[in-house]
Structure 1
Amino acid sequence: MSLLSRLAMPGQVRSVAASGPAGPLYVTSCGASPLETVVTVLDLSGSVLARRAYAGTGRPRSRLSADGTLWVAYPGRGGRVLEGVLPDGSAGPSVVPECGPGDEIGAFVLLDDGFCVAWAGASRLLRRSRDRRASPPSPRVARYTREGACLWSAPVALGEVSHPGVLGMSADTGWEARPVRPWVPDAVDVEVDPWEPLLVSGDRVAASFGDARSGIGKTFFLDLDSGESVSATSPAPRGRKAIAGRGEFLIGSQGYGAFTTARHGRDGSETARWASHGAMLVDGQGIVLGPELENRLPSASRFRRLDRDNTLVDGPELPGYYTSFPARDSEGTTVFWRDGRLLAVDADLNGRELYALPGPPDDSHHVISRIVLMDGGRVVVALGAELLVLSTGLGPLP
């Protein structure tokens, strides 16, 4: 195993993607200014093929289509724009979805015939320079054609939220911690969930919003064709999510004493629950597995498999804390970055180290991209503002 290249990007990387195993790679990052979005197109040797910069909001958002067009969300032309970046780095098609003043694209998903967008108010970074007296827009989910025409728009009401693990202080009891009563977040504090906020599978949409101050949120299940509400989860600490099958989703919850993952069926009802939370993969047979993620040190996390009978199967222990979302090759080996190392866990849940960065851990590497598995066993991962391309003995994606 070896490090093939280590490349500096313009700023903190938010996503790495490729439309095929041969590349090219599309890296979306912040620019010299945290409010600038930069897209860098590279080949597998690390050579920069093109670079484009856009006005940003401090939260770069991009999605890659099957034809190799990277769609980027940015403010422009008096609204919010979705613009394509072609494989050669040139500008592609652009769309201005119908929206209201103050709306910001919190997340979006590419559909065969258009887009699904989760809208929220402007980010806190931008609010500092705006009129705080203006009423923030209500969060909503909307579906659009490829021309930007709105097919439906569904308002999202977070409503009253609470969780038994949220504590406050009371002078009446000598400033002892006490459970916080249910509360309704102000509209300005409702944001899209930072972890997989918008997922589409089959004819179902899973859109996650939460209270920015407490981290308590809900996932709303909507009908993709009509936008009608199907159901919503109970308020809970936010966590990682994934598509579990056609119209099915995994919803994780971590924090305030919660450490769970639940599977939700097409009607939104809970069909399974595990006492584990992490960056979980779901393979073609419906097997769920991945590295656990929890907010405590020293870590008690393991690599886990979540079996259908709600039981857990132990893999190797996982020291450290900061972890990438994993990838899995055709032989059933899962690869991910954790604690300054590239780790692999095979189909029998045996773990091994593939590569370790020399020297002490770098604090700038705490923001980690998803793992991208390319031709020839190449693994691509971004750490902070750096892009690493490593040679491994892994197989191709299934």
Structure 2
Amino acid sequence: MGELLTARMPGQVWGVVAADGDGPLFVTSYRGRDLDATVLTAVDLSGRVLWQREFDGHPGRPRVGRDGNVWVAHQGPLLSELDASGRSRRTITLRHEPGESLGAFAVVDEGVCIAWLPAGRGRPIPPGRAPRVALHAGDGECRWSTPAVLDQLSYPGVLEIGTHTEGRIRQKRPWSPQTVRACYWTPLMVAGDRVAATFADPGSGIAVTFFLDHGSGRLIATTLPGPGQHKAILGPGEFLIGFQGYGAFSTAHYDADGAVVREWPTHTMPLVDRHGGIRGPEFENQVPSKSRFVTLDADGTVRPGPPLSGYYTSYPALDEEGTAVFWRDGRLLAVTADLQLRELLVSPEDRRNVMSRTLLLGRGRVALALDDELLLLSGTGLGDLDRGPWPCGDGGLRGNPVLNVG
């Protein structure tokens, strides 16, 4: 077992990113019990707090741009950019419609790409309004905006119970929402000349992913409504979209035209390596767990690996030798390229807390947060993070789900 260091954050952690494998880590969290305040904390790899900055508004996931600066969304809605020393570089006031709220964002070369909700998260969508995706320049001006209309959300696996007018007969019928509410599922992904944004009805979890042209905002295609779950960038213009729930348990590969190229009969927290290989822990809403760590082969077959006990899982990270590392069932686990499982750390406590994604830093150091505690483990024997398009949650250490081409 390697050396474990811990650092207590001001409140429950919402996101952990780093500019590179040597740190520092940038962590967003609550300010104690204040759910409407964000604290951004910079931590070095010894667990020492370097600086902290506070913002109004509920915490979200920070993003690090290509220049190494960290971005935070906060009340306004505003986006603030800070350098590694904590100095403010700029704050962007985002042009938006009255009542809109920021769902998710990604930092791109032109500025920021944003998923806008037409009302507060989970609130009914006002008549005549829709979620939208927009590209904003560095001064906040909107370059393009495309509506994401959610008007066909019924799904065969979702049923609602009806009652006879006399109250005696009850029957199940296909569900269709009377009132669609606003919800967004992160991350907003940009892969070369394509953007993939997912909006959902939070009551049912039925979602639609919209594929758009990065340069113009033109709508290319949409997925059929379904219980969308984990997603990943597979390559330039190509994405993985997972479906789980109401009888669905699958993953589909969508190309630059928004067409399904291949499918697998499983749903995972996917990792994509530099050779295009796909693997990850299965993710299903079932206890006791029947999940395994699996590999998704190019011909559409699923190669099963070791079974996984427990349920709550941190999004894994993949090293350059093909070993995945993640927290599950009170243990930090590693699964090798040949699907052998080993324990790196066992917690003496019951740690089913809220988890961050897993980060794999230089020289095999692992970082993740459990509730308000940041864990830093060295001496794991792991390699550096793989250089593929999706070697960990949000596509890399920087937590900015953008695949640049050229």
TM-score, length-scaled by structure 2: 0.90
Instruction: Give, in angstroms, the shift of residue 180 of structure 1.
Output: 2.5
Structure 2 SS opposite 1:98: coil
Residue 383 of structure 2 aligns to which amino acid in structure 1?
A: G
CA distance in 2, matches of 1:110, 1:14: 18
1:395 equivalent to 2:376? Answer no
Residues 28, 59 of structure 2: 8 Å contact kept: no
Aligned amino acid, residue 171 of structure 1:
T
Superposed CA offset, 1:307-364 (max 9, x none): 11110001110111001111111111111111111111111111111111113x234x
Are residues 1:138 and 2:138 paired? no
Q: Secondary structure at the match of 1:235?
A: coil
SS of aligned partner of 1:376: helix
1:35 aligns with 2:29: no
Q: In the alignment, which residue of structure 2 is the partner of 1:212? A: 202
Partner of 2:310: 320
Contact 1:208/1:218 (8 A) holds in 2: yes
1:180 pairs with one of 174, 180, 186? 174
Partner of 2:147: 155
2:327 to 323, 337, 348: 337
Give 1:109's match in structure 2, choosing from 106, 119, 140. Answer: 106
Checking the alignment, whether the CA contact within 8 Å between 1:203 and 1:225 is kept in structure 2 is yes
Name the SS for the 2:363 alignment partner. helix
2:338 is matched with 348
Task: State the match for 2:358 in structure 1.
Answer: 371
1:65-104 matched pairs, under 5 angstroms: 65-76=65-76, 80-104=77-101
Query: How far has the Cα of 1:148 moved from its partner?
Result: 1.5
Q: CA deviation at 1:73?
A: 0.8
Equivalent residue for 1:49? Answer: 50
d(CA) in 1 for partners of 2:140, 2:170 = 53
Partner secondary structure for residue 62 of structure 2: strand
Q: Which amino acid aligns with 1:52?
A: R
Aligned equivalents of 1:282 and 1:22: distance in 2? 22
CA contact (8 A) 1:107 1:197 kept: yes
Q: Is the 8 A contact 1:8 1:385 kept in 2?
A: yes
Whether the aligned pair in 1 keeps the contact of 2:106 and 2:114 (CA below 8 Å) is yes
Matched AA of 2:196: A
SS in 1 for 2:75: strand
Question: Using a 3 Å threshold, how does the CA distance of structure 1 residues 5 and 263 change in structure 2: closer, same or farther?
Answer: same
Q: In structure 2, the residue corresponding to 1:143 is in which secondary structure?
A: strand
Answer yes or no: is the 8 Å Cα contact 1:101–1:137 preserved in 2. no
Q: TM-score, normalised by structure 1?
A: 0.91
Return the alpha-carbon distance in structure 2 between the equivalents of residues 59 and 47 of structure 1.
22
Select which of 169, 180, 191 maps to 1:201: 191
| Residues 112-140 of structure 1: per-residue CA shift (max 9 Å, x gap) | 12110000044358x7xxxx998795310
- Alignment CA distance shift 1:35-1:356 (3 Å): same
Instruction: State how many pairs are aligned.
Output: 382
- Unmatched 5+ residue regions in structure 2? 387-406
Deviates further, 330-339 or 213-222? 330-339
Query: Residues 194-343 of structure 1: matches in 2 within 5 Å?
Result: 196-343=186-333
Cα pair 2:130 2:150 within 8 Å, conserved: no
**2:173 alignment partner AA:** P
Unaligned runs of at least 5 residues, structure 1: none
Structure 1 segment 118-137 matched on structure 2, within 5 A: 118-124=115-121
Alignment identity in percent? 47
